[in-house]
Amino acid sequence: MTNFFVLLLGEIKRLQRYNILSASAVVALLWIGVLYLTELPDITFIFPMLIYVDATSMAILMVGVTIFFEKQEGSLHTLLVTPISKLDYLLNKSIITVASSVITLTILYLYVVIFKEIDMSFLGLLGAVILVALFHSLVGFLLTYNSRDFTALLINMMKYMFIFMIPVLLEYMQIIQQDIVEAILYIAPTKAAMILLYAPAGETELWEIVYALGYLGIGSIILFIFVLKRFEQFAVSESGV
Amino acid sequence: MFQVRDVTYRYPRNRKDTIKGISFDIRQGEIFGLLGPSGVGKSTTQKIMVKLLTDYQGEIYYRNKELKNFDKQYYQEIGVGFEVPVHFSKLTADENIHFFKKLYRNQANTDAMMQRLGIYEAKKKKVDEFSKGMKIRLNFVRAVLNNPAVLFLDEPTIGLDPANARTLKTMIKEFRSYGGTVLLSTHLMSDVDELCDRVAFMADGRIAEIDTPQNLKMKYGERKVEVEYDTGNEEATSKVSFDLDTINRNEDFFKLVRNKKIITMHSKETTLDDIFIKITGVEKHD
Ligand SMILES: Nc1ncnc2c1ncn2[C@@H]1O[C@H](COP(=O)(O)OP(=O)(O)OP(=O)(O)O)[C@@H](O)[C@H]1O
Ligand SMILES: [Mg+2]
């Protein structure tokens, strides 16, 4: 077994032991509750929004919380003096995060297919979720690097939510309707995320899809390189999370 | 095994160098002690040598190859014991050990080691339910679970009761007897006296002195006899000391012994403790 898989299995076991797995199960149940309470039989309109909230915020939270734990209990230090490359470590965290978002998507999609109506292909949603969760797991690293402690991490997450996540959500709920604001929101990675998640409904223009794919794809590559470079500095600093 | 040449290091956000140009060699099969008062840079030196801090100036050679040219495979050959707890706290001791063990090509008999250190019975307990001393013992097992060629130990006996400290020291000596090399940072003189073949005294980010404990004692040592006697007036006593090497010719000493009532008489050799204070200029706090 290569060290990559040892790390992966260890990570899964810890998600379970540190109750992060049950926390994400609770969140998934919460989403099902929301879907259950929705009066509309066809939930094609609301479904991507739920997935949007889950794949962005849960991805950031999962990376942040697990690294915070590892740094606090010192196990991160130990990992650094074992034959694991930082690339293995970072890939592991991102893969686990993406997998968790994919599982949530699958559960919610099954629920909707069985009890409600939806007019979106699963594969399209799957692709979108993978890219969105990957990008946001890297955002999670970035926010963690720049947080002195857990409180600072939570505050940084809040900032990301208020600046990027919520405005886009309000736009899609048609609470924000000014053209100028909608135009400005193209700067936000969360807008690209929302475009991709709605694309499987089949009403998105091609240029928008290309833009969103480009933004999150190239963005992920740039973020990944940056996160990789800064990892050691973060890991050995005593003051960081 | 290691050649450290004029290494300096500064932490990213600091304004001053923490390590200010240190040079020393560690030979294969020896226990090399790094000694010095708190905050002098022992742990920092160790972190540099285990490649946790890579931004140093100067050169470090391991098996004649610059440390910077080693990749993660370096960790197959070394074992690192930290001074702080370093385990997954919500996994059991056993789960921790097995997880880390699987990352290595060489795997030691950890059960036997846990047994010797008295934590085998508790191996199904979560690490956050361990006492401080148990965590320290587990740290040691984790450090050697890959049968390393070089062992880095940072204050390995701090927080252990005397019996466990003894077992641990025996295990460190056994490690050496199988050809292992050890870098041991500590401020406990008893550990140095007992374990180290050579020792480097650090003071303010520099190395003040490197030698064997015996040579250091000879060099800085004074051998004297301290005599406490009854002065005769009321209940007062007085103390004088005499040089042990010239005592057979010292008339004052004979006079004193003949005429006064001796209360105590001790021969005193300089301990490493005294040398520590002399070299580093710092009173040690335990
Ligand atoms: N991550 C860090 N960032 C900035 N400065 C640091 C960091 N770690 C240690 N230092 C500083 O470097 C100096 C040396 O610290 P180090 O931990 O190497 O000391 P030490 O000799 O191991 O002390 P002790 O005996 O207390 O363990 C100290 O002044 C400390 O404040
Ligand atoms: Mg230290």
B7 near B58, Cβ under 8 Å?
yes
User: How far from A32 is each of A98, A166, A173, A233, B114, CA to CA, in Å?
Assistant: 20, 21, 19, 41, 47
Query: What are the structure tokens assigned to B4, written together?
Result: 């450290």
How many structural domains does chain B have? 2
* Among the bound ligands, the one closest to the CA of B37: 1
Q: Is the pLDDT confidence value at B149 over 50?
A: yes
CA of B40 to the centre of ligand 2 (A): 8
Do B178 and B231 lie in a common domain?
no
Average pLDDT for chain A = 90
Window 122-151 of A, Cβ < 8 Å to B: none
pLDDT, tens digit, for every residue of B14-63? 889 999 999 999 999 999 999 988 889 999 999 999 998 888 999 999 99
pLDDT value of residue A130? 97
- Nearest residue (CA) to ligand 1, atom 30: B39
CA A149 to chain centre: 21
Window 83-112 of A, Cβ < 8 Å to B: 83-85
Q: List b or e across A171-198, with b for residues whose CB sees 16 or more CB atoms inside 10 angstroms.
A: bbeeeeeeeeeeeebeebbbbbbbbbbb
Residues B265-274 have a mean pLDDT of 78
Residue B152's pLDDT band, with cuts at 50, 70 and 90, is: very high
- The DSSP secondary-structure symbol of B283 reads -
Q: What angle do the packed helices B272-280 and B213-220 form, to 10 degrees?
A: 70
Look at residue B113 and tell me if it is in a domain: yes
Tell which residue, A86, A82, A107, has the closest CA to residue A30: A107
Most A CBs within 10 A among B9, B51, B86, hence the mutation to make, goes to B86
Do B130 and B18 lie in a common domain?
yes
Residue B112's pLDDT band, with cuts at 50, 70 and 90, is: very high
CA of B83 to the centre of ligand 2 (A): 7
**Spatial distance between the Cα atoms of B247 and B253, rounded to a whole number of angstroms:** 7
Do B50 and B106 lie in a common domain?
yes
pLDDT, tens digit, for every residue of A151-196? 999 999 999 999 999 999 999 888 888 888 888 888 999 999 999 9
B130: left (phi over 0), alpha (psi -120 to 50) or beta: beta
pLDDT, tens digit, for every residue of A23-77? 888 999 999 998 888 887 778 888 999 999 999 999 999 999 999 889 888 899 8
Query: Domain of B127: which CATH number?
Result: 3.40.50.300
CA of B6 to the centre of ligand 2 (A): 21
pLDDT value of residue B286? 44
Look at residue B129 and tell me if it is in a domain: yes
Instruction: Report the percent of chain B where pLDDT is more than 90.
Output: 60
Look at residue B279 and tell me if it is in a domain: no
User: Which of these ranges, A91-100, B182-191, B221-230, has the smallest mean pLDDT?
Assistant: B221-230
Average pLDDT for chain B = 90
Q: pTM value?
A: 0.84
Q: Is the pLDDT confidence value at B285 over 60?
A: no
pLDDT value of residue B17? 92
Do B210 and B230 lie in a common domain?
no
Query: What are the structure tokens assigned to B146, written together?
Result: 């890959």
Compare all CA atoms of chain B with the CA of A76 and give the residue at the minimum distance: B86
CA of B112 to the centre of ligand 2 (A): 29
Look at residue B77 and tell me if it is in a domain: yes
Do B101 and B242 lie in a common domain?
no
Residues with CB under 6 A from ligand 1: A 237-238; B 11, 14, 18, 36, 38-44, 83, 187
Q: How far is A158 from chain B (nearest CA, A)?
A: 27
Compare all CA atoms of chain B with the CA of A1 and give the residue at the minimum distance: B102
Do B207 and B252 lie in a common domain?
no
Beta bridge partners of B186: B35
Query: What are the structure tokens assigned to A221, written together?
Result: 């590559």
Q: How large is the greatest C-alpha to C-alpha distance in chain A, in angstroms?
A: 55
Look at residue B285 and tell me if it is in a domain: no
Pick A232's closest partner by Cβ from B54, B76, B87. B54
pLDDT, tens digit, for every residue of B128-137? 999 999 999 9
pLDDT value of residue B209? 87
Query: What are the structure tokens assigned to B225, written together?
Result: 């006899």
User: End of a domain among B217, B237, B258?
Assistant: B217
Do B78 and B186 lie in a common domain?
yes
Do B202 and B87 lie in a common domain?
yes
Look at residue B189 and tell me if it is in a domain: yes
B125 near A48, Cβ under 8 Å?
no
Q: How far is B137 from chain A (nearest CA, A)?
A: 15
**Spatial distance between the Cα atoms of B52 and B75, rounded to a whole number of angstroms:** 11
From B8, B11, B185, give the residue whose CB has the most ligand 1 atoms within 8 Å, as the site to mutate. B11
How many residue pairs bridge chain A and chain B with CB atoms within 8 Å of each other?
A: 70
Cβ within 8 Å, pair A83-B99: no
Pick B76's closest partner by Cβ from A14, A78, A83. A83
Do B212 and B229 lie in a common domain?
no
- Nearest residue (CA) to ligand 1, atom 26: B38
Cβ within 8 Å, pair B47-A236: yes
Window 51-70 of A, Cβ < 8 Å to B: 70
Q: Is the pLDDT confidence value at B248 over 60?
A: yes
Window 195-234 of A, Cβ < 8 Å to B: 232-233
Residue B282's pLDDT band, with cuts at 50, 70 and 90, is: low
Domain region containing B93:
2-217
A35 near A50, Cβ under 8 Å?
yes
Residue numbers in A near B78 (CB within 8 A): 81
Per residue, the 3-state secondary structure of chain A, as one string, reads CCHHHHHHHHHHHHHHHCCHHHHHHHHHHHHHHHHHHCCCCECCCCHHHHHHHHHHHHHHHHHHHHHHHHHHHCHHHHHHCCCCCHHHHHHHHHHHHHHHHHHHHHHHHHHHHHHCECCCCHHHHHHHHHHHHHHHHHHHHHHHHCCCCHHHHHHHHHHHHHHHHHHHHHHHCCCCCCHHHHHHHHHCHHHHHHHHHHHHHCCCCHHHHHHHHHHHHHHHHHHHHHHHHHHHHHHHCCCCC
Do B114 and B241 lie in a common domain?
no
- The DSSP secondary-structure symbol of B180 reads -
Domain boundaries, chain A: 2-239
User: How far from B179 is each of B77, B142, B196, B246, CA to CA, in Å?
Assistant: 13, 19, 14, 43
Pick B75's closest partner by Cβ from A14, A70, A81. A81
Do B209 and B259 lie in a common domain?
no
Instruction: Report the percent of chain B where pLDDT is more than 70.
Output: 98
User: What value, to the nearest 5°, has the Cα angle with vertex A178 and ends A175 and A182?
Assistant: 90
Higher pLDDT pick, B280 / A100: A100
Do B257 and B178 lie in a common domain?
no
Q: Does A12 touch chain B (CB under 8 A)?
A: no
Residues B114-130 have a mean pLDDT of 94
Q: How far is B130 from chain A (nearest CA, A)?
A: 13
pLDDT value of residue A152? 92
Pick B80's closest partner by Cβ from A3, A6, A81. A81
**Pairing mode, strands B150-154 and B181-186:** parallel
Residue B247's pLDDT band, with cuts at 50, 70 and 90, is: confident
At residue B226, φ and ψ (nearest 5 deg) are -110, 125
CA A150 to chain centre: 19
Higher pLDDT pick, B9 / A21: B9
Most B CBs within 10 A among A12, A66, A73, hence the mutation to make, goes to A73
Residues A128-147 have a mean pLDDT of 95
Residues A228-238 have a mean pLDDT of 84
